[in-house]
Amino acid sequence: MAWRTHSRGPTQRARLTEALRRAEAAGQGMAVLDLDGCLFDNRPRQLGILRAWAAAAGESEALASLSIGHFQDWDLRATLARAGRPKPWIEAHYEALRAAWWRGFFSSDWMHLDEPAPGAVAFVRRLTQAGLRPVYLTGRDDSMRPGTERALARVGFPWGDGRAALYTKPDAAEADHHWKARALAEVIPPERLVVGADNEPANVNLFLAHSPDAVVLWLDTDHSPSPAPLHPAALAVRGFLY
């Protein structure tokens, strides 16, 4: 698994075009869109958090070579190993690093470093121009909402126009998949789901179970360990570039 959002898979153009075609044909309804690992690349946020820890701990030189390319999954030990850190160093500093990562990642403090996936802003804008309402459905919890709203506006995603909606978890402890299932069933006002996008296969499957005729994109970036088998109707893409 690796981030390849700057590249184009062999079928990517056709699949993105199909999503836009379906949006134009529908003319109304919603596009349910994930944020982390989908519309946003949060690896710059993670890099900033770890470099700040290193500077405070006197370990800046040890992490000088760390780059966003080393963040390929959610295994911090593996990330540090890819950056060339030996196992004894990793084990000596892991708990402190993990604690700093956790505090920083699950807050609004570092979201100013998040970058949109290449082509994502233009893609979502085209969905809205076709008539769909963007619904940002994220596993981020309510405490992360201020930074998320600022990030959406900063990079130019449709936001603040009275149509776009953001749904964050009221309870940080609730599993992301359970939250998204509950949001679709109980929280988001009933509306036809026309296009969906998420990097977690379980959530992609959820969207298709909710709306079997929707076009649902699976972003092949990162996901949780041992992912669910992907629904055969899901359309796999590397990102949003044609």
Task: Report pLDDT for 188.
Answer: 97
At a CB cut-off of 8 Å and minimum separation 6, what does 68 contact? 41, 43, 44, 46, 47
Q: Which of 34-43, 55-64, 222-231, 232-241 has the lowest mean pLDDT?
A: 222-231
Write the pLDDT tens digit of every residue in 84-131. 999 999 999 999 999 999 999 999 999 999 999 999 999 999 999 999
Contact (CB, 8 A) for 38 and 198: yes
Q: Which parts of 18-132 are beta strand (E)?
A: 30-33, 40-41, 115-116
**Count of alpha carbons within 13 Å of 222, Cβ hemisphere only?**
19
pLDDT at residue 199 above 70? yes
Mean of pLDDT values over 156-181: 97
- Local structure of 115: helix, strand or coil: strand
**Count of alpha carbons within 13 Å of 76, Cβ hemisphere only?**
19
- Closest C-alpha among 135, 152, 140 to residue 193: 135
pLDDT band of residue 1 (cuts 50, 70, 90) is: low
Residue count of the chain, please give it.
Answer: 242
Residue 86 CB burial class (10 angstroms; 0-12, 13-18, ≥19): exposed
